Amino acid sequence: MSKYDIIVLGSGPGGYVAAIRASQLGFKTAIIEKENLGGICLNWGCIPTKALLKSAQVFEYLKHAEDYGLSVKDFDKDFDAVVKRSRGVAEGMSKGIQFLMKKNKIDVIDGFGKLKPGKKVDVDGTEYSADNIIIATGARSRELPSLPQDGKKVIGYREAMVLPKQPKKMIVVGSGAIGVEFAYFYNSMGTEVTIVEYLPNIVPVEDEEVSKQLARSFKKSGMNIMTSAEVTSVDTSGKGVKATVKTKKGEEVLEADIILSAVGIKTNIENIGLEDVGIVVDRDKIIVNDFYQTNIPGYYAIGDVTPGQALAHVASAEGILCVEKLAGMHVEALDYGNIPGCTYCSPEVASVGLTEKQAKEKGLDIKVGKFPFSVSGKAKAAGTPDGFVKVIFDAKYGEWLGCHMIGAGVTDMIAEAVLGRKLETTGHEVLKAVHPHPTMSEAVMEAVADAYDEVIHL
């Protein structure tokens, strides 16, 4: 039986990052993967969806070439080629992870791993042992009883990435990041898209002003949006699919070629031996302490299977912290109140910290500033004037409580707010940090100036 210092179960952005950090710190490390190195994020999530979205963005540019003084004739999309490009990007990235495993001398064990007592893992009949085992098995598309997925007419995100042909009509159920990203992609490609959201606003975890702005932008692009609505049943017996949707006005039947169910995720914790080992699970999540130790010594868990935000960058950060703590390094627990969220539709959405509503519910005295991209020189020149930057500060101490953005490229801008909050930056310090002009990023400074009644360009 092979013996390791650390075995990682799952090779997504939590698992493979934990394995590399473990190897860097001198641990003899193995990683177990049942499918493809890189996990869902790299193969079926974050990376290939961004490739699809880039194709959609380029197609949008071609459709609006005249807005830029250009004439482009006889252009069209090749849906198969768009999908093929996305898969090629994912495959290339997965090969990159294979290279990193070899470079860091990490043993890759192919197969389905099942935890055993005594710090062992069984992989298809072969046992491996380690001083420490890190569970990083991730999650998959969640199914609702009223919306069972058949993989053909009612699909999840995996099927949505590789459809054999583009649907003419699509219903997207759920408007979190996955839902709105696919809604934007298919709408841009020419599919008639309807979004059905159970809550009053789309992207419901975002600041309400951001949600309303995204709804306006989506409606302007031709999407139908139904909020405070619920799919109660589906009928797949005909050529397409019929969805019965319950709204405040009553029931309505929608017809489409395909329904994409984007109603959240389900953790991959079944049949991996948690019960055999005695590891405690609560509401579909493995319970861990601040440094990802489960209730059983020697067994750890990171990423989507734990109660933190189900985001790739969170899983990576947790993996690094977990291993560094194991190595005896002095590390601080992750601040889950300072995790950025990004949604890559168009316009993009990015946020960190408290929303205005959350700050008020906490009884905080706040200053709120907002700067629209419609008066940003860079945004106007780029032809992307939709959206804004919104900032929230504590009125008494100047603490940066939250930052919420919607617009072109804002997912690349949010890190300023994350770093500023980490360093306990005040509003006045942000205001006095010179931002380059003309850029989208200077909208952050302008929004702060608005909060402190010093705005120049508004």
Per-residue HEC secondary structure of 45-59 comes to CHHHHHHHHHHHHHH
How is domain 347-451 classified at the CATH fold level? Answer: Enolase-like; domain 1 (3.30.390)
Does residue 402 have a known ligand-binding role? no
Does residue 83 have a known ligand-binding role? no
Cα(198)–Cα(262) distance, integer angstroms: 12
Does residue 179 have a known ligand-binding role? yes
Q: Which CATH number is associated with domain 154-263?
A: 3.50.50.60
Query: What pLDDT, on the 0 to 100 scale, is given for residue 45?
Result: 85
- Judging by DSSP bridges, how do beta strands 139-141 and 265-267 pair with one another? antiparallel
Among 3.30.70.1560, 3.40.190.10, 2.60.260.20, 3.50.50.60, what is the CATH number of 2-140+266-336? Answer: 3.50.50.60
For residue 307, give the 3-state DSSP assignment.
coil
Q: Where in the chain is the domain with CATH 3.50.50.60?
A: 2-140+266-336, 154-263
Does residue 429 have a known ligand-binding role? no
Does residue 288 have a known ligand-binding role? no
Q: Helix 15-24 and helix 79-103: axis angle, to 10°?
A: 30
Q: Where in the chain is the domain with CATH 3.30.390.30?
A: 347-451
Does 43 score more than 90 pLDDT?
Answer: no
Query: What pLDDT, on the 0 to 100 scale, is given for residue 1?
Result: 64
Is-contact 139 310, C-beta < 8 A? yes
Whole-number mean pLDDT of the chain? 95
Of the chain, the percentage scoring pLDDT greater than 90 comes to 93
Average pLDDT score over residue span 356-366: 96
**DSSP sequence for 328-371:** T---PPP-GGG--EEE-SSSEEEEEE--HHHHHHTT--EEEEEE
What is the per-residue pLDDT across 195-253, written as a single tens digit (0 to 9) for each? 999 999 999 999 999 999 999 999 999 999 999 999 999 999 989 999 999 999 999 99
- Residue positions annotated with a catalytic role: 437
Is-contact 192 199, C-beta < 8 A? no
> What is the band of 458 on the pLDDT scale with cuts at 50, 70, 90?
confident
Q: Which two tokens stand for residue 48?
A: 């290939």
Does residue 175 have a known ligand-binding role? yes
> What is the band of 360 on the pLDDT scale with cuts at 50, 70, 90?
very high
